[in-house]
Structure 1
Amino acid sequence: MATPPPRTRMDDLTVERVLRVVEAIPAGQVAAYGEVGSIVGVGPRLVGRIMGTWGSGVPWWRVANSYGDHPLLARALPHWEQEGIAVKPNGRGCRMADHGVDLDVLRRAASASLAELDEPSGPPER
């Protein structure tokens, strides 16, 4: 699957694409902001902004920075404990080598949901 063209602004479609990719992250695994962004075609900072504003309805605890550090670790810990995500010795997050999602698997898991967004809705315009 080809990477979508980069998006630089936060429109409704971009927000929905990010949230759908986050929903596809398997339990017990973590993706970095940049990894989610690479699937959607946006940068990690935009993914972070979207998660901070609209991410409460998706498994937000499965998105961390590239080092596995989580900005809301205290709130994420109950979810991590339930899913078996271990905190690394520095206490800031998890080891991505142990809990990082396979990006090919994530792309495939999110592809059908993302494709729905690309389908035209309603009758064609005249």
Structure 2
Amino acid sequence: MAEFTEEFMEKMEQFYENDPFIHVIDMSLVNIEDGQVTLGMPITEKHTNAHGIAHGGVLMSLADTAMGASCMSVNKKVVTMDLNINFIRAAKLGENVIAVAEVLHNGGKTMVSEAKILSEKGDLCAKARGTFFVIDNFVK
């Protein structure tokens, strides 16, 4: 695991503390490494669709946030340019899921990251890939 400065970790914690959407869908930071971030989220009733499984938009939001955080882990502040996701298996009510996101391309103007969303048993629920526009350094 990379050694992150105290300033970086404080800024990362503030980012998650101050982002209202993260609190709405109950995402939490599980692990951070250089170029890889893991976020967790419980699937509660507010996350489900009419079929009683996690809504695809909730899983896409988790993947997008994790991929953006993976970019932040290499000190890049980014916004999403493009995102695609393949849904493999339903995430069920009561399950905890994690998104493991990893930077694939760390460019000066754009970045590419990939995320896997896994059930608590390790089953692949979805796989996403995103392209991100670099707007600044995360920590100056």
TM-score between both structures, scaled by the size of structure 1: 0.31
Q: Kindly indicate whether structure 1 or structure 2 has the higher relative contact order, using CA contacts under 8 Å at least 6 residues apart.
A: 1
Q: Structure 2-normalised TM-score? A: 0.29
